[in-house]
Structure 1
Amino acid sequence: MKFVQRTRGLAGAIAIVLSLALPAMLVVASSADARIGGGSSSGSRGSRTFSAPPSTSTAPSAAQPFNRTMTQPGSPGMSAPAAGAARGGFFNRPGMGMLGGLAAGFLGAGLLGMLFGGGMFSGLGGLSSIFGLILQIGLIIIVVRLAMSWWQRRNAAAPAAASAYAGPAAGPDVGPGAQQSYRTGSGFGIGATAAPLEIGPADYEAFERLLGEIQTTWSNGDIGHLHTLATPEMVSYFGTDLAANKARGVENKVSNVKLLQGDLAEAWREGDTDYASVAMRFALVDKTIETATGKIVEGSEQPTEATEVWTFARRRGSDWELSAIQQT
């Protein structure tokens, strides 16, 4: 009985600590992610929305999946493995259905029994209960093994499907020069692989210009100008974030944006639209001020650095627009 009481007391203490720590964590995250697109991954990358862009020297870590996107997993061009990538947890894998639910239920019941003093295998009494226990353990083992076998077969089939899709997009061989590193004064260079879509110096200059101009326009709260720099989907997210800041009585001010390093992760064409995903590491002064008083409530006057993957889209005959921002 004393052990049960101590266990319950420990669980209560942990719950109290978590309840106190969570708001502080949210405040820290909010203060560090006040800039445009900070803290979340938003937008669309065409048919590659649910595929992570290749890592580069600028962003060696994988880009985070999208928190906000208008692209539906079941839309044309979306493969099943990519669509399922947004779902997490072993017992949440797509296709597991009743098997996953049974396994999760058995394990959950056992853990709850331990927490509330009944023991992992509470209720055992007599030979019949022992046989029931053995049956449950055997069923759990079978379910887990079936699920793991199914998931391994699915993962094994995914690379083959991805190769079949990526093959035609590679385009004709553009010669040995395609693999040579391209550098500009701004620090842009080719990242993981040569791009099927040719990206030249003028494109890199446009990407750098958009990086600074979009941040400045966001800082000014100019939705009208943002419509000329980003896709309607991205502008809708920016408008929502600006409205949330206004409701809090604050404004996010970004200044002194400077590109430090950039790499092209991948570039491709879908119909009349070109896409280019670019990893960028940049410096900026990011602060949030109270509208009424001008007092800094988040951030500071000191420059900070950020690394993000920006995807740009361009319809034939038009200029590049921001289509997505992903955190790394």
Structure 2
Amino acid sequence: MIRIASRRSRAMIALAAVLVFAGSAAEARVGGGKGSFGSRGARTWSAPPSTNTTPSAAPIQRSQTPDQGSAMNRPGMASPAAAQPRRFGFGTGLMAGLFGAGLLGMLMGNGFFGGLAGLGSVIGLLVQIGLVVLLVSFAMKWFRRRQQPAYAGPGQGYARSMPDEQPQPGGGLGGALGGALGGLGQRAQQPSGVRDEVGIGERDYAAFEQSLNEVQEAYSRGDVAKLWALATPEMAGYMQEELNDNAARGLANQVSNVKLLQGDLAEAWREGSAEYATVAMRYSLVDVTTEKATGRVVEGDASRPVEATEVWTFRRDPGGSWKLSAIQQS
């Protein structure tokens, strides 16, 4: 019995190791299986608008942008209980002591302020009641003013994306990322309703598609220097971590034949001197993971392309080129 149990234990451990290894091996290509990470500026924790390519995108999971109040802006997330303002009443704090002592004095016949003797006791009682009423009225007004929220004027706080609008027909980053992207034969036409504060044109669409190919190619070669040139420092750091993790496991990821199939511009905006553009892309690629030592294929098929749908955000500084700043899974 002990031997049987021991064999079963070894089998379970081996199976678990295979599953863990397979799960890590499935994390191929840039961002594949690794969740959503990077930064979208002040809109990092806001969901990008829906598009024909991606009706929804997974929220950012890893980012260097502080998450301030994001739970209230993420779809599907339960809103935390709002902090209740402190209230003073007849049963708490200063008011409890004040009214408790005064009313107790009145019940004991000494009056709210110790009472007035003799013939003036009735007048004194009325004066005390009037003072109590005035004091209560003043206190209620004062506390009510304290509890009213301060008005947040225009431009205060983080910028937030507006509620999603239904994309107009014509798909693809302005019509399949435009004719300049992927050679789909359509001129770049931006769908109406897209919030574009930058004025994205054909050159930008071409730059996005080129970035898709170059980032995947550099990642496949393990070219860290190229990744740092194509992405923001935050994103380049994340991708370098993934490469280091693959190397520690003795794996190599080979990506080839990247082809853009469909894309949409979700939104483009400015933050100070920087410009951002969020793009939904569906593309095909050959994605194979092998063991470095033996060349054995661990994941993927070199003869069978697969499809991926993701939302990429790009950032451009004045005088610079577009750089990848975030990837979100659809």
TM-score greater than 0.5 by the shorter chain:
yes
Conservation of the 8 A alpha-carbon contact between 2:196 and 2:267: yes
The 8 Å contact of residues 189 and 262 in structure 1, kept in 2 or not, is answered as no
> Which of 80, 94, 97 pairs up with 1:94?
80
* 3-state secondary structure, aligned to 1:313: strand
Distance 2:224 2:194 in 1: 35
CA contact (8 A) 1:249 1:292 kept: yes
Aligned to 1:109: none
Identify the match of residue 310 of structure 2 among 305, 308, 311.
308
Aligned residues: 227
- The structure that has the greater radius of gyration is 2
Paired letter, 1:95: A
Instruction: Identify, as 1 or 2, the structure richer in helix.
Output: 1
State the Cα distance separating 1:195 from its structure 2 match: 1.4
Over the aligned positions, Cα root-mean-square deviation in angstroms equals 3.3
Identify unmatched segments of 5+ residues in structure 1. Answer: 1-18, 75-79, 99-160, 168-179
Deviation at 1:190, TM superposition (A): 3.4
Q: How far off is 1:29 after superposition?
A: 5.0
Once the two structures are TM-superposed, the CA of residue 196 in structure 1 deviates from its matched residue by: 2.1
Residue identity over aligned pairs, in percent, reads: 49
From 18, 32, 38, give the equivalent of 2:32: 38
Please, what TM-score do these two structures have when normalized by structure 1?
A: 0.62
Give, in angstroms, the shift of residue 25 of structure 1.
Answer: 7.0
Instruction: Please list every run of at least 4 consecutive aligned residues from structure 1 whose deviation after the TM superposition is greater than 2 angstroms.
Output: 19-33, 82-90, 93-98, 164-167, 180-183, 185-192
Residues 41-190 of structure 1 mapped to structure 2, 5 A cutoff? 41-60=36-55, 62-74=56-68, 80=69, 82-85=70-73, 93-95=79-81, 183-185=178-180, 186=182, 187=184, 190=190
Please report how far the alpha carbon of residue 95 of structure 1 lies from its aligned counterpart in structure 2 after TM superposition: 3.1
Distance in 2 (alpha carbons) for counterparts of 1:88 and 1:222:
38
TM-score normalised per structure 2: 0.61
Is residue 318 of structure 1 aligned with residue 313 of structure 2?
no
Deviations 1:178-223 (A, max 9, x none): xx96832425653562412200000000000000000000011111
Q: For 2:195 and 2:308, how far apart are their aligned partners in 1?
A: 25
* Residues 197 and 20 (structure 1), Cα distance of their counterparts in 2 relative to 1, 3 Å cut: farther
Q: Which runs of 5+ in 2 are unaligned?
A: 1-12, 85-155, 163-173
CA distance in 1, matches of 2:283, 2:223: 22
Alpha-carbon deviations, 1:48-88, whole Å to 9, x = none?
Answer: 0011111111112x1001121111113xxxxx3x3545698
Q: Give the secondary structure class of the aligned counterpart of 1:210.
A: helix
Match of 1:147 in 2: none
In the TM superposition, residue 224 of structure 1 has moved relative to its aligned partner by 0.8
